[in-house]
Structure 1
């Protein structure tokens, strides 16, 4: 809040008259003059002057008057906002392509009552991590590997990583249990570089001395839903989190390939920049996600 001698000068800058200023403030003219002199002594420069018997602002006075007007506008807006219910801040969420269809439909119906704006960004693990670094998102849902010294994080849960194919694939007809080396004749549908799912698959293949080039045919795709559609149409095999395939498995659009060697679970994470943890919000997100 401005002190009275600043308010007096602000009004004087509008009226350019000691008499009118005194009348509006219900003060005497000498009292107005005294407050202006006090302000000039405080700022150390003349604020008003007479030219041809007309009161005018000096350059410093004009600058101060402009500043006080802006300050008053900001103060009035702040006080108006303070007296009214304030909208909740926006929430910036990021999720990998493998997790957004699983978790965002669970989060958004609940969080929409708390936030005026929710922005969700979708990408692969590398893209989401970069957006988190740059402050484009506040929280990220990822399944891939990341530098745990760079970010704070919470484990949502451990998720099975499975091999799936379309219901018409001959792999399913005889109930055979397969070993990893026996799958290389299949067309492999795989995510693009930077995807967490791809990194997990590559690490698992390497544990059996296998690599992508061992597969007869590979189709690289950046969208998990496209992979699901192609699998349902009979295109090869793919590896993904069980929750991503859960609906298609339940509707018998996809089937799980019996692969005992794939006893693999991976952690799904809620991560955020160090030092930005909102404990209440973090716990709320975890409660919904788990």
Structure 2
């Protein structure tokens, strides 16, 4: 028994006329009659009662039609879903996000994706440091990472989304809070609140490099994993911090943000990173939405 037998039977059962069913199926009537006879032999029961004037369903035929409709509809649904997934219109995507972009980009991205791809099951994981994101990509725990450079893994594809200006986060009332911009040299004697060091955070390495260019090594009071915790400690007056501009979207009271004074302006890139071997139409669509969003 093949699906075509079920489709032939359904057409005849719904039309109750071999001629109309043949026209609907775009086949000749004699082969259609032969296929229905073959189906009845395989089922082992008469499914149709034929007279010179009419075609009727037998009791067995009515029961068989009910199951046939469900089977064919399920097959059609499976084909449609596979086609939607194959074109990226449907599927599941897990996005990991670096702390600063979690607050500024992720809310807009979720709204834009729900509008553009409503059938996509989107899951997000925020406040992820770069090494955690890279490990999650390779473990297939996330499908797309929004992170800071560098990405030197040949198994991964990185797409540049934007460059974020660097800000200095100061406690409210700080001596530099009323300046148009702040240089790192002005903060030589300050305690710093830093993102996690030891290669775990791109921002920690960037802070060390920029301070070295300014002629000093930063005095780190606390190292934290979450950007929200970092800003909260600054608000508490425990130190100053270097952060990407989107961090200001947190709007935590007691913190003043000032642009970092640096040669040609200091920025840090935001990347969309995914496994090259697993690139799919859905990933491509989401990256397109990301580019439009940022």
TM range (shorter): 0.5 to 0.7
Q: Pick the aligned partner of 1:97 from 92, 96, 99.
A: 99
Contact 1:163 1:259 in 2 (8 A): no
Bigger drift between 151-160 and 239-248 goes to: 239-248
Contact 1:144 1:200 in 2 (8 A): no
Aligned to 1:24: 44
Q: Pick the aligned partner of 1:171 from 154, 173, 176.
A: 176
Q: Distance in 1 between matches of 2:74 and 2:80?
A: 10
Residues 111-150 of structure 1 mapped to structure 2, 5 A cutoff: 111-113=113-115, 114-122=118-126, 123-147=128-152, 149-150=154-155
Aligned CA-pair RMSD? 3.6
Change beyond 3 A, Cα 1:26–1:176: closer
| TM-score computed with the length of structure 1 as normaliser | 0.64
Q: Which runs of 5+ in 1 are unaligned?
A: 5-20, 28-74
Residue 196 in structure 1 maps to residue 202 in structure 2: yes
Aligned to 1:79: 75
Contact 1:156 1:269 in 2 (8 A): yes
Deviation at 1:207, TM superposition (A): 2.9
Bigger drift between 77-86 and 255-264 goes to: 77-86
Change beyond 3 A, Cα 1:244–1:270: same
Cα deviation per residue 1:38-74 (whole Å; 9 max; x = unaligned)?
A: xxxxxxxxxxxxxxxxxxxxxxxxxxxxxxxxxxxxx
Residues 1-290 of structure 1 mapped to structure 2, 5 A cutoff: 2=2, 24-26=44-46, 79=75, 81-82=77-78, 88-113=90-115, 114-122=118-126, 123-147=128-152, 149-172=154-177, 175=179, 179-193=183-197, 194-212=200-218, 215=219, 217-246=220-249, 248=251, 253-256=255-258, 259-260=261-262, 263-275=265-277, 276-278=279-281, 279-288=284-293, 290=294
Aligned to 2:33: none
Deviation at 1:112, TM superposition (A): 2.7
| TM-score computed with the length of structure 2 as normaliser | 0.63
Aligned length: 223
Q: Distance in 1 between matches of 2:292 and 2:183?
A: 38
Contact 1:144 1:199 in 2 (8 A): no
Deviation at 1:89, TM superposition (A): 1.3
Q: Which runs of 5+ in 2 are unaligned?
A: 5-40, 48-70
Q: Distance in 2 between matches of 1:22 and 1:93?
A: 51
Q: Distance in 2 between matches of 1:262 and 1:236?
A: 26
Cα deviation per residue 1:75-132 (whole Å; 9 max; x = unaligned)?
A: 7795163387779312211111221111110011222352352211231111011111
